[in-house]
Amino acid sequence: MVGALVIVNGRVVTPEGVIDGAVLVENGRIAAVGAFDRPAGASVIDAQGRLIAPGLIDVGVFAIDPAAFAAGGITRALLMPDRSEAIDTVALVQHAAAAGKPRVWVHPLAAATRGLAGAELAEIGLMQAGGACGVATGRRWIADSGVMHRLLGYAGALGLRTVVHAEDAGLAGEAVMTEGETATRLGLASAPAEVEAIALARDLLLVEATGSPLHVRQVTTARALTLVREAKRKGLPVSCGITPAHLFLADSAVTGFRTFARLSPPLRGEDDRRACLAAIADGTIDLLCSGHDPQGPEAKRLPFADAEAGMAGAETLLAFGLTLVRDGVIGIERLFDLVAGAPARLFGLPGGSLTIGAEADLILVDPDAPWRIESDKMAATAGNTPFDGLPVQGRVMQVIKGGVAIR
- For residue 39, tell me if it sits in a domain: no
* DSSP H/E element including 326: helix 317-326
**Is 215:242 a contact under the CB 8 Å cutoff?**
no
Q: pLDDT tens digits, residue range 261-298?
A: 999 999 999 999 999 999 999 999 999 999 999 998 88
pLDDT at 37: 86
Reported as a single tens digit per residue, the pLDDT across 181-223 is: 999 999 999 999 999 999 999 999 999 999 999 999 999 999 9
Answer whether residue 243 is part of any domain: yes
Q: pLDDT category, 1, cuts 50, 70, 90?
A: low
Length of the chain: 407
Partnered with residue 293 across adjacent β-strands are: none
Instruction: Please tell me the distance from the alpha carbon of residue 283 to that of residue 81, in angstroms, as a whole number.
Output: 28
Average pLDDT, the chain: 96
Residues whose CB falls within 8 Å of the CB of residue 207, separated by 6 or more in sequence, listed in order: 152, 213, 214, 231, 236, 237, 238
Output the pTM of the full model: 0.96
Per-residue pLDDT, averaged over 6-26, amounts to: 94
Cis, bond preceding 102 (omega within 30 deg of 0): yes
- Indicate which CATH number applies to the domain containing 220: 3.20.20.140
CA distance 286 to 90: 29
pLDDT in tens, 132-142: 999 999 999 99
Q: What is the pLDDT of residue 16?
A: 86
**pLDDT over 70 (residue 2):** no
Rounded CA-CA distance 10/351 in Å is: 19
The answer to whether 58 touches 74, Cβ cutoff 8 Å, is yes
Question: Is residue 172 in a domain?
Answer: yes
Give residue 293's pLDDT.
96
99 inside domain: yes
End-to-end distance of the chain based on CA atoms, in angstroms? Answer: 20
Q: Is the Cβ–Cβ distance between 17 and 34 less than 8 Å? A: no
Q: What percent of the chain has pLDDT over 90?
A: 91
Would you say residue 401 lies in a domain?
A: no
Q: Based on the number of CB atoms within 10 Å of its own CB, is 77 exposed (0-12), middle (13-18) or buried (19 or more)?
A: buried
Look at residue 85 and give its three-state secondary structure: coil
Residue 381 lies in a domain: yes
Strand partners, 178: 191
Q: At what angle do helices 194-210 and 222-233 cross, to 10 degrees?
A: 20
pLDDT of residue 296: 87
CA-nearest of 196, 191, 252 to 219 is 196
Reference 92, options 111, 75, 116; nearest CA is 111
Identify whether 65 is part of a domain: yes
The answer to whether residue 351 scores a pLDDT higher than 80 is yes
Confidence of residue 100 (pLDDT cuts 50, 70, 90): confident
Q: Which residues constitute the domain of residue 304?
A: 56-352+369-391
pLDDT digits (tens, 9 = 90+) for 318-346: 999 999 999 999 999 999 999 999 999 99
Is the distance from CB of 137 to CB of 112 less than 8 angstroms? yes
Looking at per-residue pLDDT, the higher value among 97 and 2 belongs to 97
pLDDT, one tens digit per residue, over 36-70 is 888 988 999 999 999 999 999 999 999 999 999 99
Asked if residue 256 belongs to a domain, the reply is yes
Q: How many domains does the chain have?
A: 1
